[in-house]
Chains A and B, each alone.
Chain A
Amino acid sequence: MTWSKLPIKTKLILLTFITSVFGILILSASLIWYENLTYRQQISQELNVIGNMLADRSNAALVFGDVSQLKDNINSLKLRESITLGCIYNEKNQVLATFSRSGKLGCPDKPRSTSGVFEDDHFYTVQDIMLDGEVIGRLYIESTLEELRRHLQNYVATATIVSALAVLGLLIISAILQRTVTTPLLHLSETATRIANDKNYRLRAELESFDEIGELTKSFNAMLETIEYQNKEILKSYGSLERQVEIRTAELKAANQELEAFSYSVSHDLRQPLRAIDGYSEAIAEDCSEKLDELAVEYLGRIRSASGRMSMLIDSMLTLSRVTRHKLDCEEVDLSQIVEGIASELRSAHPNRDVTMTIAPNVKAKGDERLLHIALSNLVENAWKYSSKKESAHIEFGVINKREGAVYFVKDDGAGFDMKYADRLFVAFNRLHTPSEFEGSGIGLATVFRIITRHRGRIWAESEPSRGSTFYFTLNVQ
């Protein structure tokens, strides 16, 4: 587990632990070092004092060659337990008397005067034996450092136990004291998490301390205050916006319905007088043609063709308004079959035209059959119409399967159009060709556009003048 993942509580306790252990270690080490130093100084001092006294006591015996007295003197060293070896030399470095605790004799050959030397496991001192300012011999004393070693061992053991207890105590204290730091922080964190989870901005963190955490808590609460206020504002404006949308939608709906009713009734009511115009024109042409001259008959023909065009326009407008009002009735539709039907109708209506139809088989889609029939008729009829200037034309219906879905197309090799007018293509009454070039109401593509839009699809066209055009569309209903 990495340090950054540890909870703050553990971090604080660990910090205390590490610092206290570090401090106690340094303290203990320096105490042990100091103890070792002073203990050595003590040993050195003590043995030097003993040595001085013994050397002073022994000068007479040395000068009068009283070896038994010297032996008595040196044997007094046995009272000091740490002393393992003592030797008295005359001025020619000959050993005259020896004390050895272990019985082993190991007096060095030529001891040199020193106030104390520490070796690995022993200490020794060599004192001059003086008489009236002259050196008459030497005293060698050797002491084991076992005592120092044991003393230091005890010292280390005691220091370890005391340190361990101190660390334990510090841990307990820090475990208690860390709560004063972490508890407010934990509470703050809990509150923040709860707010993040429940999205309840009415909650507030409790102010428990007056340090930086307290400041944080205050700022946090202030932020919550702001969020709550802003939420209220948003909800308020959202509510009014929704109401406005509702009002506008209702208005729009009413206007639309009015418009539809209007266009429906207009187109419906327009039929009546038109039928009268057409009917009487026909009656005049049939019954009174002999009374009319050639010019009048021609004008009558024009009236009749104009009224026929108007009837077609009204039909288209009716279809458009029906398409808008019609409720979608979705099912699986065989588009290929529909196109076949339209093609055979067109063939029988125009038997003298040479048009090759390529219809991809089994192209199926979900949609309203009646509306799709209207859309496909418009597209195929357009293709038929705009390729009529060619001696032999080719019309194709098919589907391209793309990742985002099926794209259907109707393609011809007729007149085509300039792509810069493409955006006007699907607007009602916008025609790219004059009626003298190609007949048409200008409503057909608007109707197709509305049908495809109602199927949540998209329609677009690609073309080039006199090289034909392709209409693509997608359908997106389930």
Chain B
Amino acid sequence: MLVFGGNCYARSEYEIKAAYLYNFIKFVSWTSQSVEAAGEINVCILGKDPFQELIDPINGKKIQGKPIKLFKFESMKVAPSCTVIFISSSERKGFENILMTPALEHALTVSDIEDFAKSGGMIGFVQVGNVIRFEINLDSARKSGVDISSKLLELAQEVYQ
């Protein structure tokens, strides 16, 4: 089930983050009709791709019956309508502007940029010791019509209201 195999060997940071990204989708739902009605889930990787081929296996996987389509691009100017967007740390400067982009109005935003959630993103990866955890900004999610499961909130390192 886990796309990236078990945990019997030490997984790399992005291997884990790719799995998390994939699993986040399972605990999220969208209140927006247009997103819910869409036949597929577009997962976008913006900026310098830190996953490389590690993220590729999720392309075509189905979540709640919808197939995942993986898109990778450098700039928001060419970005399609994304259901989920991972903003690479290469976009650290001015990521707040990206979040304002109308194309991302209903998108679940994920990033490992520091204080991403605190600064208006929805889910931000954090490193606690050796373990990768995440923070959630519930307020941003609500504003965008993204409904995050309480189970996920329970696991979050920090929840910003």
Cβ of B73 within 8 Å of any chain A Cβ, yes or no, is no
Of B49-57, B106-114, B146-154, the one with at least 4 CB within 8 A of chain A: B146-154
Of B19-27, B40-48, B85-93, the one with at least 4 CB within 8 A of chain A: B19-27
Closest partner residue, chain B, to A64 (CB atom): B155
Would you give the shortest CB distance from B161 to chain A, in whole angstroms?
20
The residue that A92 contacts in the complex, of B8, B20, B27, B154, with Cβ under 8 A, is B8
Q: Which B residues are in CB contact (< 8 Å) with A65? A: 7
Q: Which B residues are in CB contact (< 8 Å) with A91? A: 1-2, 6
The docked-state distance in angstroms from the alpha carbon of A57 to that of B151 is: 7
The docked-state distance in angstroms from the alpha carbon of A69 to that of B155 is: 7
The docked-state distance in angstroms from the alpha carbon of A381 to that of B8 is: 153
The docked-state distance in angstroms from the alpha carbon of A65 to that of B15 is: 14
Cβ of A167 within 8 Å of any chain B Cβ, yes or no, is no
Q: Which A residues are in CB contact (< 8 Å) with B8? A: 92
Cβ of A49 within 8 Å of any chain B Cβ, yes or no, is no
Cβ of B63 within 8 Å of any chain A Cβ, yes or no, is yes
The residue that A61 contacts in the complex, of B6, B64, B151, with Cβ under 8 A, is B151
Residues 114-136 (chain A) with a chain B CB within 8 angstroms: 131-132, 134-136
A131 touching B1 in the complex, CB below 8 Å, given contacts A60-B27, A60-B149, A64-B20? yes
Whether B6 pairs with A92 at a CB distance below 8 angstroms is: yes
Cβ of A221 within 8 Å of any chain B Cβ, yes or no, is no
Q: Which B residues are in CB contact (< 8 Å) with A135? A: 1
Would you give the shortest CB distance from B143 to chain A, in whole angstroms?
23
The residue that B155 contacts in the complex, of A61, A90, A131, with Cβ under 8 A, is A61
The residue that B23 contacts in the complex, of A57, A63, A69, A90, with Cβ under 8 A, is A63
Q: Which B residues are in CB contact (< 8 Å) with A69? A: 154-155
Residues 69-93 (chain A) with a chain B CB within 8 angstroms: 69, 90-92
The docked-state distance in angstroms from the alpha carbon of A157 to that of B155 is: 50
Contact with A along B1-42 (1 / 0, CB 8 A): 110001110000000000010010011000000000000000
Would you give the shortest CB distance from B110 to chain A, in whole angstroms?
13
Whether B152 pairs with A60 at a CB distance below 8 angstroms is: yes
Whether A60 pairs with B154 at a CB distance below 8 angstroms is: yes
The docked-state distance in angstroms from the alpha carbon of A90 to that of B20 is: 16
Whether B7 pairs with A136 at a CB distance below 8 angstroms is: no
Q: Which A residues are in CB contact (< 8 Å) with B23? A: 63-64, 131
A-B contact count (CB 8 A): 38
Q: Which B residues are in CB contact (< 8 Å) with A136? A: 1-2
The docked-state distance in angstroms from the alpha carbon of A65 to that of B131 is: 10
The docked-state distance in angstroms from the alpha carbon of A134 to that of B20 is: 16
Cβ of A463 within 8 Å of any chain B Cβ, yes or no, is no
Cβ of A44 within 8 Å of any chain B Cβ, yes or no, is no
The docked-state distance in angstroms from the alpha carbon of A64 to that of B153 is: 12
Cβ of A66 within 8 Å of any chain B Cβ, yes or no, is yes
The docked-state distance in angstroms from the alpha carbon of A134 to that of B61 is: 13
Closest partner residue, chain A, to B8 (CB atom): A92
Q: Which B residues are in CB contact (< 8 Å) with A63? A: 2, 23, 26
A59 touching B151 in the complex, CB below 8 Å, given contacts A64-B23, A92-B8, A132-B64? yes
Closest partner residue, chain A, to B6 (CB atom): A92
Closest partner residue, chain B, to A66 (CB atom): B155
Whether A132 pairs with B151 at a CB distance below 8 angstroms is: no
Q: Which B residues are in CB contact (< 8 Å) with A134? A: 1
Whether A132 pairs with B26 at a CB distance below 8 angstroms is: yes
Residues 122-154 (chain B) with a chain A CB within 8 angstroms: 149, 151-152, 154
Whether B151 pairs with A60 at a CB distance below 8 angstroms is: yes
Q: Which A residues are in CB contact (< 8 Å) with B152? A: 60
Q: Which A residues are in CB contact (< 8 Å) with B155? A: 60-61, 64, 66, 69
Would you give the shortest CB distance from A129 to chain B, in whole angstroms?
11
Q: Which A residues are in CB contact (< 8 Å) with B6? A: 90-92
Closest partner residue, chain B, to A65 (CB atom): B7
Closest partner residue, chain A, to B1 (CB atom): A134
The docked-state distance in angstroms from the alpha carbon of A69 to that of B157 is: 11
The docked-state distance in angstroms from the alpha carbon of A155 to that of B5 is: 53
Q: Which A residues are in CB contact (< 8 Å) with B149? A: 60
Whether B154 pairs with A131 at a CB distance below 8 angstroms is: no
Would you give the shortest CB distance from A189 to chain B, in whole angstroms?
87
Q: Which B residues are in CB contact (< 8 Å) with A132? A: 26, 63-64
Contact with B along A45-70 (1 / 0, CB 8 A): 00000000000010111011110010
Q: Which B residues are in CB contact (< 8 Å) with A131? A: 1, 23, 26
Q: Which B residues are in CB contact (< 8 Å) with A60? A: 27, 149, 151-152, 154-155
Residues 13-72 (chain A) with a chain B CB within 8 angstroms: 57, 59-61, 63-66, 69
Could you give 24 example pairs across A and B, Cβ below 8 Å?
Answer: A59-B151, A60-B27, A60-B152, A60-B154, A60-B155, A61-B154, A63-B2, A63-B23, A64-B20, A64-B23, A65-B7, A66-B155, A69-B155, A90-B6, A91-B1, A91-B2, A91-B6, A92-B6, A92-B8, A131-B23, A132-B26, A132-B63, A132-B64, A136-B2
- Lowest 9 CB-CB distances: which A-B pairs, in order? A60-B151, A134-B1, A63-B23, A66-B155, A132-B26, A64-B155, A136-B1, A92-B6, A60-B152
Footprint of B on A, CB under 8 Å?
A: 57, 59-61, 63-66, 69, 90-92, 131-132, 134-136
